[in-house]
Amino acid sequence: MVLQDDVATAGDFEERVLKLVAARPKDAISLFVEWGSRTATAARLAAATDADWTAVVDDYVPTVGLVVPADVARGLDEFAASRSTTDVPDDVVLFEYLRSAGIETIAPVDGPLQHDSEDSLVGNSIMGIRRAVRFTDRLDRPVGGFVFRPTVVPYYDWWDQQAALFVPDSASADGWRRLRSEPAFALLEISRDVADRTFEDWSRALVDRDELSDTVSAIIQRELWRTAYLIGVALGGLSPVPRALESVRVGEALRTLGPGGLRRIVPVHRLDAVTSLLQPLVAAGTHAGLEAGMARLEPAQR
């Protein structure tokens, strides 16, 4: 197991790590998933299905906290020496190594680590503050072995501030291909215009509309809505359709979508306030997308 210095551990960290390893002893386990990553969306989808795990779907292996089977870990030095350069980040080297070794990297939905610094120890401060998609100080549920593996990954691009969707692509180096929102909605056979109209209707009815608009532009709000909507559509396409959106677990995972996406453009001292302002938008957008996704299903599938 490797932990970076700038982490805070859960109160039951040692006990929980042992449970996690016992549940999935042959996998690489990332103990921290940052709130703006692709895997963060996968964790949100997994939470809605009541899963304990999600597959890691980024083009790197999160290394803030990582557990790797000992026999696999022993081969990393030789691989890194032969395949990497100083220009290749450690998380990318690990991604390439574990993939070459046939080892899947997974992450718990209920994270036992929190990033404990506003700065990055490895020179990534330009990416903004990164917190866990869902940090839990103590786990009050057993750890099962089921791993949620998404077939589509809605994503809020925190660099370009746009909604996007990742879809499987065997020709891509990391196995995924990015679509902008218009082709993403078309692929899912969902109207983006309808999604935008539902946002406008929701926005007009919002009591705190002026406060939200003074803090986050309408353009950014719409892109976040589209992302949340796509998350809902993705959930509506699962079988069985998740019914747990009202749970605390899902709510906490969705709550971090806003700050995870805006962490580069909102000052750190404003993130908590922005999180609270955006939470209703994310929740409403997800529910609207879920309804749209379910509307495509046959009655027997709903």
- The strand ranges marked E within 48-161 are 53-55, 65-67, 105-108, 113-115, 147-148, 153-157
Q: Domain coordinates of the chain in residue numbers?
A: 1-150, 152-302
Strands across the sheet containing 176-180: 153-157, 162-168, 176-180
Cα(9)–Cα(292) distance, integer angstroms:
39
The runs of H, that is alpha helices, within 124-270 are 181-187, 192-205, 209-215, 218-236, 248-255, 257-262
pLDDT one digit per residue (tens) for the chain, 302 residues: 999 988 999 999 999 999 999 999 999 999 999 999 999 999 999 999 999 999 999 999 999 999 999 999 999 989 988 876 667 888 999 999 999 999 999 999 999 999 876 655 444 566 789 999 999 999 999 999 999 999 999 999 999 999 999 999 999 999 999 999 999 999 999 999 999 999 999 999 987 788 888 889 999 999 999 999 999 999 998 877 777 688 999 999 999 999 999 999 999 899 999 999 999 999 999 999 999 998 876 655 55
Q: How many CA atoms lie within 13 A of 202 on its CB side?
A: 23
Predicted TM-score of the model (pTM): 0.93
Angle, alpha carbons 55-57-62 (nearest 5°) = 90
